[in-house]
């Protein structure tokens, strides 16, 4: 990763962590274990790539920083909720996430279910609040776009396909694998890239370009993730690795092997950058992020 | 129940079921089991009291019927999500709901978790969409109010308190019981009563009166529910009964016994109706509903 990008991503993660800290309920009251677990699952963990996409997208249109940071925090709440639920015993049954015990391990299953539920709600509460934009039409539009990305026809539908694929008699074909990944992880990354354009009331064309950029880096990110799962140690990845191959996970990598997977990821990254052709130098960090997605080691 | 009220509630339930049918994803595609289970959990089940509150609240201000029906459907999605998750083995571990096997029994735990997740998302998607009101400020306001009622400081926080109460060394005192119930079931009923005022851009005073009405009937509803759990058969209630006493559930009934519980519920209903003093004859069904809440047999 270039020094500039690393610095910008670190600064953004710190900024968004501060916003999460301010937005999530403080750890007091009888139900403080819920609040503590919500914080554990979101604040200070992960690379906050989705938040970075929101912030950098918003930069293209000169959006008020405070507005963008709130939406970035909301996207991270939504993402964290999905991880907490995906890690549950009835789902992927993972013990380790971001180098720490998963929420149902550190607390219990009931708490983990409620933490995910409450983080999803808090994401919508954050976006809908007047502090997120002076124009309520922007807030309603953001709520709708996030819900469409995250719901039954988006992220949750993708997780359902993933569950079904694991118990299926025959492996998924390439089209089904692509659709699964696009729903499960792609749609939220698309929304993250697009959100800045919604905040900035950008033209439909600009909004679509950012969404398409998000789609391509999302797909490349997924392939890179699968390659890391194959090659990284659990210490490097901060979670269990090597599980996918054993579980017969439906991935591009499983279908075509590492060489073709790498080529495909590179092709997607070139395509992602091409979607930014109409943007000026303010989009350089988005271009650098695209390159980073397939060269990262964790 | 008076014939008028029964007729109006039945008509509203049919209307909202039709809206749910139109709003939820059709049962096709590879992930159709998710869509089928979402429908199973919402369409055609329950009395749809929360939906009825939305519709009757909206009637007070002449709100476009189609707008109110969408919000009513969204509230029922949110409510259904909470039931599906509360029924999970890690939570209340219930096999029966609305006279049918619970979602994790009819499908499996992973599907039930995802059904709840997706129904919550769909509730926000429904409210945020342009079809729900011409004024985006109303939609953003509804999203925020629903999220505040449903999240960590509302319904989910209440469910967390309920989980903690079950494993606590000593029973909760009256204030803690009241707070638990108000969060767990009260806040969403308050929102349901208040939503019509938001849709109708009513005065703060009128909005608050409806919310206060919702608070009182919600509290009375809870006591009536606990009394039913004590006396009704599983066939009458459509779910397991008699569980609360055995589980040492934190309720007003458990603290004070059936006689004082009945008196308290009646007092709350009188108070609820008093909040409607400033409303005209259009509020008669809300008045009748208040009486029904404590006389119902299921």
Interface of A with B in 53-82 (CB under 8 A): 81
Pairwise CA distance, residues B147 & B192, whole Å: 12
Report residue B124's pLDDT band, with 50, 70 and 90 as the boundaries: very high
The more confident residue out of B202 and B47 is B202
Are the beta carbons of B287 and B57 closer than 8 angstroms?
no
Range of the domain at B18: 3-295
The more confident residue out of B222 and A250 is B222
Of B30, B91, B114, the CB nearest to A110: B91
Taking 50 as the pLDDT cut, the residues of chain A under it are none
Residues with Cβ < 8 Å from B198, sequence gap 6 or more? Answer: B138, B141, B142, B145, B207
Prediction ipTM score:
0.95
Interchain CB contact of B163 with A (< 8 Å): yes
Burial (0-12, 13-18, 19+ Cβ within 10 Å), A278: exposed
pLDDT of B8 strictly over 90: yes
Interface of B with A in 10-29 (CB under 8 A): 24-25
**pLDDT digits over A236-257, tens only?**
666 666 665 555 667 888 888 9
Residue A251 burial (CB count, 10 A): 23
Interface of B with A in 223-262 (CB under 8 A): none
pLDDT of residue A246: 53
The three-state secondary structure class of A101 is strand
**pLDDT digits over B238-293, tens only?**
666 666 555 566 788 888 899 999 999 999 999 999 999 999 999 999 999 999 99
The values of phi and psi at residue B268, to 5°, are: -65, -40
Contact (CB<8Å) A120/B121 = yes
Considering only CA atoms, which of A79, A28, A143, A102 is closest in space to residue B153?
Answer: A28
Domain count, chain B: 1
pLDDT of residue A236: 67
Report residue B295's pLDDT band, with 50, 70 and 90 as the boundaries: confident
pTM: 0.95
Interchain CB contact of A171 with B (< 8 Å): no
Residue B230 burial (CB count, 10 A): 16
The alpha carbon of residue B229 and the mean position of all alpha carbons in its chain are separated, in whole angstroms, by 17
The three-state secondary structure class of A161 is helix
pLDDT of residue A167: 85
CATH of the domain at B185: 1.10.600.10
Burial (0-12, 13-18, 19+ Cβ within 10 Å), B248: middle
Interchain CB contact of B83 with A (< 8 Å): no
**Mean pLDDT of all residues belonging to chain B:** 93
The pair of structure tokens assigned to B248 is 């040492």
> Which of the residues A117, A127, A138, A179 would you substitute to probe the B interface, choosing the one with the greatest number of B C-beta atoms within 10 Å?
A117
**pLDDT digits over B125-148, tens only?**
999 999 999 999 999 999 999 999
- Residue numbers in B near A152 (CB within 8 A): 24-25, 31, 34-35, 38, 118, 121-122
Burial track A126-151 (b if 16+ CB lie within 10 A, e otherwise): bbbbeebbeebbbbbbbbbbbbbbbb
């Amino acid at each position: 990763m270039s020094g500039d990008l690393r610095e910008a991503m670190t600064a953004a993660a710190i900024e968004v962590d501060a916003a999460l800290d301010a937005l999530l309920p403080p750890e007091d009251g009888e139900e403080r274990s819920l609040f503590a677990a919500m914080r554990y699952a979101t604040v200070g963990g992960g690379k906050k790539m989705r938040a970075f996409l929101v912030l950098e997208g918003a930069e293209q249109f000169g959006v008020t920083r405070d507005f963008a940071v709130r939406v970035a925090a909301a996207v991270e709440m939504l993402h964290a909720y999905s991880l907490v639920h995906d890690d549950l015993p009835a789902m992927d049954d993972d013990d380790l996430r971001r180098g720490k015990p998963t929420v149902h391990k550190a607390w219990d299953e009931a708490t983990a279910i409620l933490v995910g539920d409450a983080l999803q709600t808090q994401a919508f509460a954050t976006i809908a609040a007047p502090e997120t934009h002076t124009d309520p039409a922007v807030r309603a539009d953001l709520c709708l776009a996030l819900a469409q990305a995250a719901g039954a026809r988006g992220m949750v539908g993708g997780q359902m396909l993933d569950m079904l694929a694991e118990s299926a008699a025959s492996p998924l074909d390439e089209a089904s694998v692509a659709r699964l990944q696009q729903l499960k992880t792609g749609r939220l990354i698309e929304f993250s890239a697009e959100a800045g354009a919604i905040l900035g009331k950008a033209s439909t064309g600009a909004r679509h370009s950012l969404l398409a950029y998000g789609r391509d880096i999302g797909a490349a990110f997924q392939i890179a993730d699968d390659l890391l799962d194959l090659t990284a140690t659990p210490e490097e990845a901060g979670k269990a690795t090597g599980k996918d191959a054993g579980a017969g996970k439906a991935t591009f990598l499983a279908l075509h092997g590492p060489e073709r997977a790498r080529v495909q990821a590179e092709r997607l990254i070139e395509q992602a950058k091409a979607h930014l052709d109409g943007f000026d130098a303010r989009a350089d960090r988005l271009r650098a992020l695209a390159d980073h997605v397939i060269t990262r080691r964790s």
